[in-house]
Amino acid sequence: MNAQLVAVLGRGVVDPETPVLYADDAGLTRGDGCFDTCRVVHDGSSARALHLDEHLARFARSAELLDLPVPDLAAWRKLVATALAAWPEPGEASLKLILTRGPAHLSGAPTGLLLLTVVDGAAQERARSGLRVVTLDRGYRSDVFATAPWLLGGAKTLSYGVNVAAKREATARGADDVLFVSTDGYLLEGPTSGLLVAREQELVAVPTGATGVLESVTVATAMAAAWAAGWRTSEELLRPGDLSTCLGTWLVSTVRGVCPVLELDGAPVPQDAGLTARVTEWAGF
Amino acid sequence: MNAQLVAVLGRGVVDPETPVLYADDAGLTRGDGCFDTCRVVHDGSSARALHLDEHLARFARSAELLDLPVPDLAAWRKLVATALAAWPEPGEASLKLILTRGPAHLSGAPTGLLLLTVVDGAAQERARSGLRVVTLDRGYRSDVFATAPWLLGGAKTLSYGVNVAAKREATARGADDVLFVSTDGYLLEGPTSGLLVAREQELVAVPTGATGVLESVTVATAMAAAWAAGWRTSEELLRPGDLSTCLGTWLVSTVRGVCPVLELDGAPVPQDAGLTARVTEWAGF
């Protein structure tokens, strides 16, 4: 069992071995809610959550897209501070915030939960040393979310079953991770990560919005730092074949960090250790 | 608050006012689980679940598509019997079975829950008197699930956020319900219902499989009865425009029953009260 801390909005830290959710919570019965995940670093004396403002802002945007009550960010901040103060584990942890529409028998009472979990350092290290990735059809055109907001593009929802199934499919194919591809042939994102690609003095990310791709805090952080370092930054729809002529490709996420893509569907993808180190630093890892 | 009963697989009936789910249950955090819903009728002396075998079979198929441990149907049957014996409310209820991959901190321990909830008879009556329906793009081609099983077509999963959002969109448009349409223009199903269409002595349903459309127990029941009554039955992909030349169109589901579609995107859809009565009877309502 991973070391874990559980806190409930409006209650504070609770015993992680005590159930906290009603059976009729819409977050469970309908995946009707959103979440966000921060990286936590404990330096031995105290724990802090990185990019908390950006994650809270995205959490609030997800809630808005789901037409959930606006999260009280001051209350969430206080809950995060309480949880971090109570968190004893040195090293890295993931901090997950969850907001659901709440139990059916208590109309209009959303559920707010916080989960702190120790990061599996060995798995993180393996991923950062490189990933064999397979492309999987996401089933959507790259522009469908422009006209179909009910498909919840760009929201980090609890209805994450397809992402979990895609990861299982990757494992079944002997790969480490997935890059979703639109039905019109464009690279989108991983099930739990964003995509970054380097060309000569240029860092490329996938456009959000119509693609349904989630606004990645890690992608944005790396892009801003690359721009500050004098690189060009651009948003562009890329095809799988485009990666073979790039200088480097990475799947990036809040906790796992910057992971070079070594192989796509069995074919090697160009990589450069120096470039990976640079992008890793830009992303704040 | 609706009258409610909660039971937990392996424990039996529990106090519905007591939380039963850990904060790190994958059913909540990732929508990683499946469910099924039966109709329960209490005749004043005892309660029974209709078509329980068919619903348990579909529940097991959903679990298989999600690569969950095979549900122990004998244990589920026993839990259902225990819950029904303890259920005091006369009239109709919905019986929901939920299976999740379980809490992250207890690896390999799936969560099994049962929820019994009194049906809102007035809302059911309104729906059975007729629905104003809007079409919404489901974002998928009608054949994408043939090659992309990770999209979980045909599985009744807990990742139901898009279905809930589509219902909200219908309400925002002043409609009662939704018919999802594929990107190539075919009618699929409602967010919580299947589609039936009548032509002269013929009942038509939407093909499952490649379309991702859920195998509806109510559709199957009505189709079998129509066939036994000498009607032709067929599976066919229909376009919204096809409904204007049909004799009747219905959204059907386990608890709400057979609901005639009176309007599609504001245009009247042919209806016949005698035919609705007939399909209702065929469906077992």
Q: Token digits for A105?
A: 């028998």
Interchain contact, A31 vs B139, CB within 8 Å: no
Q: Which residue of A has its CA nearest to B146?
A: A139
**Residues of B with Cβ-Cβ distance to A168 under 8 angstroms:** 67, 150
B282 to chain A, closest Cα gap in Å? 29
Check residue A214 and give its pLDDT.
97
- Spell out the residues 6+ positions from residue A273 whose beta carbon is closer than 8 angstroms to its own: none
| Mean pLDDT value across residues B241-259 | 97
Contact A150 B158 (CB under 8 A): no
Asked if B217 and B56 count as a contact pair (C-beta separation under 8 A), the reply is no
Maximum Cα interatomic distance, chain B, rounded to a whole number of Å: 57
Contact B162/A149, CB-based, under 8 Å? no
Structure confidence by residue, pLDDT tens digits, A100-114: 999 999 988 999 999
Least CB-CB distance to A162: which of B27, B151, B165?
B151
Spatial CB neighbours of B57, under 8 Å, sequence gap ≥ 6 = none
- Residues β-bridged to residue B5: B116
Average pLDDT over residues A272-279: 98
pLDDT at residue B2, as a whole number = 58
Chain A residues near residue B149 by CB distance under 8 angstroms = 165, 169
- Domain B125-282 superfamily per CATH: D-amino Acid Aminotransferase, subunit A, domain 2 (3.20.10.10)
Contact A146, A209 (CB under 8 A): yes
Q: Report the distance separating Cα B174 and Cα A138, nearest Å.
A: 31
Arithmetic mean of pLDDT, B14-20:
94
> Do the Cβ atoms of B141 and A183 come within 8 Å?
yes
Contacts of A19 by beta carbon, 8 Å cutoff, 6+ apart: B18, B19, B20, B21, B22
Contact of B78 with chain A, judged by CB distance below 8 Å, is answered with: no
List the single residue in B115, B139, B157 with the smallest CB-CB distance to A148: B139
Q: Is B168's CB within 8 Å of A67's CB?
A: yes
Over range B107-126, report the average pLDDT. Answer: 95
Is A169 within 8 Å of B157 when comparing Cβ atoms?
A: no
For testing the chain B interface, which of A150, A167, A211 should be mutated: the one with the most B CBs within 10 Å? A150
Residue B96 and residue B114 in contact, taking contact as beta carbons nearer than 8 Å: yes
Contact of A135 with chain B, judged by CB distance below 8 Å, is answered with: no
Q: Confirm if B133 and B264 have CB atoms less than 8 A apart.
A: yes
Does B20 contact A16 at a Cβ distance shorter than 8 Å? no
Instruction: Inform me whether the pLDDT recorded for A185 exceeds 70.
Output: yes
Decide if A66 and B165 are in contact by the 8 Å CB cutoff: yes
Same CATH fold assignment for domains A4-119 and A125-282: no
Q: Which residues of A touch B18 (CB under 8 A)?
A: 19
| Mutation to test the B interface, candidates A8, A28, A119, most B Cβ within 10 Å | A28
Contact check, Cβ <8 Å, A21/B20: yes
The pLDDT mean for chain A works out to 97
Segments making up each domain of chain B, as ranges? 4-119, 125-282
* Burial of A143 from C-beta contacts in 10 A (0-12 / 13-18 / 19+): middle
Query: Using CB atoms and an 8 Å cut-off, which of residues 170-189 of chain B contact chain A?
Result: 183
Least Cα distance to A170 among A162, A178, A159 occurs for A178
Contact check, Cβ <8 Å, A22/B16: yes
- Chain B residue numbers with beta carbons less than 8 Å from the beta carbon of A165 are 66-67, 149-152
Where is B6: in which H helix or E strand? strand B4-8
| Predicted complex ipTM | 0.96
Contacts of B91 (CB under 8 A, 6+ apart): B41, B42, B118, B119, B121
Q: Does A128 touch chain B (CB under 8 A)?
A: no
pLDDT digits (tens, 9 = 90+) for A117-156: 999 999 999 999 999 999 999 999 999 999 999 999 999 9
Phi, psi of A185 (to 5 degrees): 95, 20
CA-nearest of B90, B4, B111 to B48 is: B90
**How many Cα atoms sit within 13 Å of B120 on the Cβ side?**
8
Residue with tokens 């070079």: A260
Average pLDDT over residues A7-24: 96
B228: closest CA of chain A, how far (Å): 36
Question: Do B137 and A157 make contact, defined as CB atoms within 8 angstroms?
Answer: no
User: Which residues of chain B from 237 to 266 reach within 8 Å of chain A, CB to CB?
Assistant: none
CA-nearest residue of chain B to A144? B139
Read off the pLDDT of each residue in A82-90 and give the average, rounded to a whole number.
Answer: 96
What pLDDT does B107 receive?
A: 84
What gap in Å lies between CA A139 and CA A184, rounded to an integer? 9
Residue type, B128: R
Q: Which chain B residue's Cα is nearest to A26? A: B28
For A160, nearest residue in chain B (alpha carbons): B30
Percentage of chain B lying above the pLDDT 70 cut: 99
First to last CA, chain A: 26
Name the band, by pLDDT with cuts 50, 70 and 90, for residue B239.
very high
Q: What is d(CA B15, CA B100) in angstroms, rounded to the nearest whole number?
A: 20
Integer Cα distance of A215 and A59 in angstroms: 11
The side-by-side arrangement of strands in the sheet containing B111-118 is B12-14, B4-8, B111-118, B91-100, B33-42, B47-50
CATH number of B4-119: 3.30.470.10
Contact list, A105 vs chain B (CB under 8 Å): 1-2, 4, 16
B146 touches chain A (CB under 8 A): no
Residue B223 has pLDDT above 70, yes or no: yes
Half-sphere exposure of B98 (CA within 13 A, CB side): 33
- pLDDT, tens digit, for every residue of A227-265? 999 999 999 999 999 999 999 999 999 999 999 999 999
Q: What is the mean pLDDT of residues A37-54?
A: 96
Look at residue A3 in the predicted model and tell me its pLDDT: 75
Residues paired with B263 in a beta bridge: B132, B268
Q: In chain B, what residues touch A100 (CB-CB under 8 Å)?
A: 28
Which residues does chain A have within 8 Å of residue B20's beta carbon, measured at their own beta carbons? 19, 21-23
Q: Is residue B134 scored above 80 in pLDDT?
A: yes
Over 60: is that where the pLDDT of B1 sits? no
* B195-213 residue pLDDT tens: 999 999 999 999 999 999 9
Taking residues A44-60, what's their average pLDDT?
A: 97
Distance from CA of A182 to the nearest CA of B (A): 11
Beta bridge partners of B195: B251
Asked if the model's pLDDT at residue A88 lies above 90, the reply is: yes
